A = this chain, B = another copy of it.
Amino acid sequence: MKFEAVTIKDIAKALGLSTSTVSRALRDSYEISPETKKLVLEYAQNINYRPNPIALSLKEKRSRSIGIIVCEIANSFFSQIINGIESIAYDKGYNVIIAQSHESYEREVINVQYLASRSIDGLLVSVSSETKDLEHLKNLHERGLPIVFFDRIVDEMTTHKVIVDNFKGAYDATEHLIKSGYKYIANLAGSEYLSITKERLNGYSQALADHGRAFDPHYIQHCLHGGMVYEEVEKALDDLFKLEHKPDAILGCADKLTTNCLRYFKKKNIKVPDDIALVGFSNLDLTDLLSPSLTVVRQPAFEMGQLSTELLIQQIESKRPVKDFERRILPPQLFTRESTGL
């Protein structure tokens, strides 16, 4: 069974007018007499006429839809971002098509191709943690597709970028640990390819340096899939606990890294904060309910989604090619709670 919609042609036939006239009447053109307009408008209202967006897209060469690529929507940080994206997109009459990479480079490429073939007007991207090569995005970008990167950005492409101040987030968290008296602060980091990983690592190192602490690479462990696979986290933590001076505090540089860290502690019966302190980047709204409640760096995800979308739509609707691109940096916020209190 098909879902037959009313067209402009139906109205034209019913009213004995041409499609041109009906179209113009509906768009309130000055070339149409008030009576005809009224007639058309009322009839259209009556039979609940809705313009066919597909026909419009074909004519206007724009689909009024934007693509989103994230690693996972079942992740508070990203679902909050998507919330922000939607709030702006729907306001401006765009709809969003979401694709997930699940932290796989291969799936990211496939999804990009898919979205491109669905003729989207623009793309919002946060790359997967496996992504090194950017040809799949560069290609589209060179052909004129507006792209905005958020959170996990890349240097090689000049477009709008929206990030949080990861350096500051990590710096503040590390400083908080130092000031709380912790000596051996380990960094449970994400994929080495990601911009956020590097930035957070820098913040961590700088905080150590600024407080006269030695930087020891042994206290840094990378997890390629950002905590998505528990075994990676387990391995990383096992290695950390084999060090001569076991860490007495851990900075978890991603949501899943932090929660899987907790899972590890629970399994090994390691007590927080008595045996070890933990602070993590997390946007879960449950971290205050854990016991001990978790000290976290929280990122303004919703705002990030909004801002990215505004920049993207602005670029899409710009008459002339956008040349100067912005790099917007949002402030993270540290919530100190029980997991870092000695």
Which residues of chain A have a CB within 8 Å of any CB of chain B?
1-5, 50-55, 57-58, 61, 63, 65, 73-76, 79-80, 82-83, 86, 90, 95-100, 114, 116-119, 121, 140, 143-146, 259, 262-263, 266, 284-286, 288-291, 318, 320-322
- Report the bound CA distance from A17 to B52 in whole Å: 32
The one of B1, B5, B144, B266 in contact with A119, judged by C-beta atoms closer than 8 angstroms, is B5
Inter-chain contact A54/B63, CB cutoff 8 Å: yes
With A52-B119, A54-B54, A117-B53 already in contact, the answer to whether A144 and B2 are too (CB < 8 A) is yes
With A58-B55, A73-B83 already in contact, the answer to whether A144 and B263 are too (CB < 8 A) is no
The one of B79, B90, B100, B145 in contact with A74, judged by C-beta atoms closer than 8 angstroms, is B79
Min Cβ gap A268→B in Å is 13
Instruction: List 17 additional contacts besides A54-B57, A65-B97, A259-B289; criterion CB under 8 Å.
Output: A1-B318, A1-B322, A3-B140, A3-B143, A5-B119, A53-B118, A73-B73, A73-B83, A75-B79, A86-B100, A96-B98, A97-B97, A259-B286, A286-B286, A290-B290, A290-B291, A291-B291
- Report the bound CA distance from A134 to B119 in whole Å: 34
Inter-chain contact B90/A83, CB cutoff 8 Å: no
Q: Which residues of B sit under 8 angstroms from A321, Cβ to Cβ? A: 1
Inter-chain contact B63/A74, CB cutoff 8 Å: no
The 3 closest A-B pairs by CB, nearest first: A74-B79, A3-B144, A1-B321
- How many copies of the shown chain assemble into the complex? 2
Q: List 11 A-B contacts (CB under 8 A).
A: A1-B146, A3-B121, A54-B54, A54-B58, A54-B119, A73-B82, A86-B99, A96-B97, A259-B289, A286-B286, A290-B291
- Report the bound CA distance from A100 to B266 in whole Å: 36
Q: Which of A74, A76, A80, A82 has the most CB of B within 10 A?
A: A74
- Report the bound CA distance from A318 to B320 in whole Å: 46
Nearest-CB residue, chain B, relative to A63: B54
Inter-chain contact A97/B100, CB cutoff 8 Å: no
Min Cβ gap A260→B in Å is 9
Min Cβ gap A277→B in Å is 16
Q: Which residues of B sit under 8 angstroms from A320, Cβ to Cβ? A: 1
Nearest-CB residue, chain B, relative to A87: B100
Q: Which of A82, A140, A259 has the most CB of B within 10 A?
A: A82
- Report the bound CA distance from A262 to B289 in whole Å: 7
Min Cβ gap A231→B in Å is 16
Inter-chain contact B290/A263, CB cutoff 8 Å: no
Nearest-CB residue, chain B, relative to A139: B48
Q: Which residues of B sit under 8 angstroms from A291, Cβ to Cβ? A: 290-291
